Each structure stands twice: as structure tokens, then as C-alpha cells.
Structure 1
């Protein structure tokens, strides 16, 4: 699965509340953007990739504000009815982690349980749901695996669906005494294992530095993936205004606080 273009097309936005940099909350917009690829996994008419959904929003189905990822899953049916997207049971989902927000969206860097976000996409009957955990997620692979045969939280091991091989590494580089953090050498070793043999898609929370100004990331991860990376790497953890960068023979796509819909 390779990109056919690097300039995403804006499809829609979702208003939500997120913690502000100086405390309190701020009103922001989640961009829903489209990129074209040469092929999709069998059984999918589109693939949705997203991460760092650290906010709350009302579901389009009504009720009190919920985690932004839950609201996003609820929007899939609404968008299908309007013709914006295929039906949810034809939309595969890739998650790059950090799906939690403080309930009032008033505290940055909050950590908490995110299984309900995974459950919302599974309940929407998305046929493929693979992802990694971010450093603020509280979720286990065992919990996620109970949601269906094609639902998996990845951390080094690959999974496949419809002919698409997907690998992923959870967490970030940091103090290994803290949850979902590894020494850089251990993180790189696991990334190297995940791309040998090379999958079609790699999911990371902490991803490579890009090739444009402002595309922050891990230079060592980039060096590794330039040598033997997949055609598509999805990441987050830090935000890129320009979401796409060249990476070896493929591309990196940053989906921090962004939704990218892949179509042919």
C-alpha cells in the first residue's frame, strides 16, 4: 500500500475540547483528511488512521461529551449515510495511540483507560482494527484481543488482514521505570524486529523525524527506517503541520490530532 499523493484533501472537521497549554480548556477542530493509495486490503473500501485524540466531544448520536475517539467512531455511520465515507463495516482502522483525555479536558498529559475507544470502533463493525499504545494510554493487548479476531494492540509482532501486513511498536523512548517507555536501544531493537521482514504498514507512537522543517521526531528511528522501512509508517506523539514526509522508499504520515482516510 503506497501513497499516490502527499497533499491531503480536507473532508470535514469535528469540533472538540482539549486541554490548553496554560491550563483550562480550548476549543479546537479535528481535521478529517483524505490521501490516495495504490491499493487497500481486501474487505476495505477505505482505511482510517489516527492518533493523539486527547480531547472530548459530543457524539453525533447525542448525550454528554465522550472521549474524542469514541465520538469519531460514532461519526463513521453519520458520514456513511451522507456518502462522505463507505459504511463502517468497509472501513479499516489504524490507531497510533494516546487516546485519553481528562474528563473535563482541562489537564494536559493525563493518562487513563482507553479500551472504550477501541470498543467503539469494534462496535461500529470496522473489519480491521490494529493499533499501538501511546505513553498516556492504559490498555492491554489481552483486553483488546477480546474485541474480535481482527482487533489487535501491537508491540513488536505483526498482524495481517486482507493481504495487508501491519506491524507496530507501542510506547516511546524514555525512562524504562515508567509505563510504556523504553531505553532508545531497546526501542530501536524492537522497531528493527518489527520491520524484518518488512510489513506493508508500520504503526508507531513515537515516530521518525521528517524531511521538512517542523516535522519533529526521533532521528535514530528515521535512520533505521530509511534502510529497511515499510512503504507506509504512521506515527504521532508530536504534531506536524505538514503530515507527510518521504522516508526511504516510502512515506511517514503523522496523524497526531488528525484523521487520515486512505482511499484508492
Structure 2
């Protein structure tokens, strides 16, 4: 899944509500953008990558507002019917975590259960749903595994699907006494373990710095990736980049914080 262009093309937007300063709900838009890659996993005509979906939105199927990730999964069928995307059964999904919002979108940094987001993508028929947990997610690998053999929450491990290998590290660097945090040394050791040899795709919640101003992240994670041939594609979130693509070695970083990227061949 090596990028052949670093210029995203806008496909659609999804309106949603997110907590602004002081917890005041705001109306915002989730951008859905396309990036071409050299190769997709067998069985997929597209791969959707997304994270930091910390908001609520009306589903296109109707009903009360739901977690933004659930609404996004519901849009897959709508977009397939309009010809914008392939059928959901041909769309793989990669998640970089932080998929929860307070129900009223009135509290920033809320933590809670996100299993229903994973279920929504699996129930839509997506053949692959692989991801990591963010520091605000309440979900376990055992819960996710119940949704199928190619649905997996990764944390220091890797999975193969359709001829590609995906590795992932959940959580962030921080006090290991708190949920989904590990010491920096342990996090970097895990990065080095997972990149020897490099997977095709590395999923992180907290990612490396980019190569442009404003592409914030952990410089030490970038250094760990640069010590050897980095993955063709590193996906991350946790902090937002206005410009979502950066280079690292001969690979690329794509920041999917509060955006959805559709990779196509």
C-alpha cells in the first residue's frame, strides 16, 4: 500500500457535532478524501482509514444521532449505491483509535465504549477491520475478535490480510498506571519490534512528527522509524494535521485525525 500521490482528493463530507471549547457543541464536517496506492489487499477495491471520530452524527439510515464512526459505517452503503465507493463487502477498514464522544457532544476528551463502532463496520460487511485503540477508547481485543476472523484490535502484534501485513500499537506514551499508556522506552521498543521487518502498514494512535511545520507528533517515534526501512504506510492520529501526508524514509505517514482517507488502486 505505497502511495503514488500525496495530494488527497475530496470525495464527500459528513456533518457531525463535536465538543468545542468549554464543551459547547459545534457543527463540523468530516472530510472524506481519496489517495491512490500501488497495491490494495486482495479482496478489497478500497481501504478506508480513519480515527479520532470524537463526535455524534445522524445516520443516513435515520434515527437518533449515533457515534460518528457508526454513522460513517452506515454511509458506506449509501456511497456504494451512488457509485462513489465500491460495495462495503469490498472495502477494508483501518482504525487509529479515539472513536468515542459524549452522547451530547458536550464534553471534550470523554472516554467510553466504542465496541459498537467496530460492530458497525463488521456488520456492514467490510472484509477486513483492523485497528488500534486510542487513549479514550474502552474496548478489548477479545470483544472485537467476536466479530470475525479478520476483525482485530492490535497492540504490539500484526495480522495478515489479502497479501499485506498490518501491525499496530494501541494507546499513547504516558503514565502506565493509566489506561492505554506505556512508558516511552516500552513504546519505542514495541515500534522497533514491529518494524523488523517492516509491515506494509503500521497503525498508531500517537504518531511521529511529520516533515512539515504543523505536523506535530513524537520526534522519538519518527527516529525509531528512521533507524531502519520504515513501513510503506504509517497511519496515525491523536493530533490533527492540516496537511495529512508526510514522508519518512521511503515511506509515508498519513494522519487520519478527524478525517477519513479512502485508499484506491
> TM-score range, shorter-chain basis?
over 0.9
Q: Which residue number corresponds to residue 25 of structure 1? A: 25
Tell whether 2:236 aligns with 1:235.
Answer: yes
Partner Cα distance (2:195, 2:96) in 1: 16
How high is the TM-score relative to the length of structure 2? 0.99
Partner Cα distance (1:219, 1:175) in 2: 18
Partner Cα distance (2:60, 2:201) in 1: 31
Once the two structures are superposed, residues 209-258 of structure 1 have per-residue CA deviations (whole angstroms, 9 ceiling, x without a partner) of: 00000000000000111222201000000000000000111000000000
Q: Which residue number corresponds to residue 175 of structure 1? A: 175
Q: Secondary structure at the match of 1:78?
A: helix
> 1:174, 1:183 within 8 Å by CA — same for their partners in 2?
yes
How high is the TM-score relative to the length of structure 1? 0.99
Partner Cα distance (1:22, 1:237) in 2: 20
Partner Cα distance (2:198, 2:174) in 1: 25
Q: Which residue number corresponds to residue 259 of structure 2? A: 258
Kindly tell me the number of residue pairs found equivalent between the two proteins.
264
Which consecutive aligned stretches of 4+ in structure 1 deviate over 4 angstroms post-superposition? none
5 Å-filtered alignment, 1:33-48, equals 33-48=33-48
Partner Cα distance (1:217, 1:188) in 2: 14
> 1:226, 1:249 within 8 Å by CA — same for their partners in 2?
no
5 Å-filtered alignment, 1:48-59, equals 48-59=48-59
5 Å-filtered alignment, 1:1-264, equals 1-228=1-228, 229-264=230-265
> 1:227, 1:248 within 8 Å by CA — same for their partners in 2?
no
The unaligned stretches of length 5 or more in structure 1 are none
Greater alpha carbon shift after TM alignment, 15-24 vs 247-256: 15-24
- CA drift of 1:22 comes to 2.5
Partner Cα distance (2:221, 2:143) in 1: 29
Once the two structures are superposed, residues 109-149 of structure 1 have per-residue CA deviations (whole angstroms, 9 ceiling, x without a partner) of: 00000000000000001001000000000000000011000
Aligned-residue RMSD, C-alpha = 0.5
Partner Cα distance (2:129, 2:23) in 1: 33
Partner Cα distance (2:133, 2:184) in 1: 17
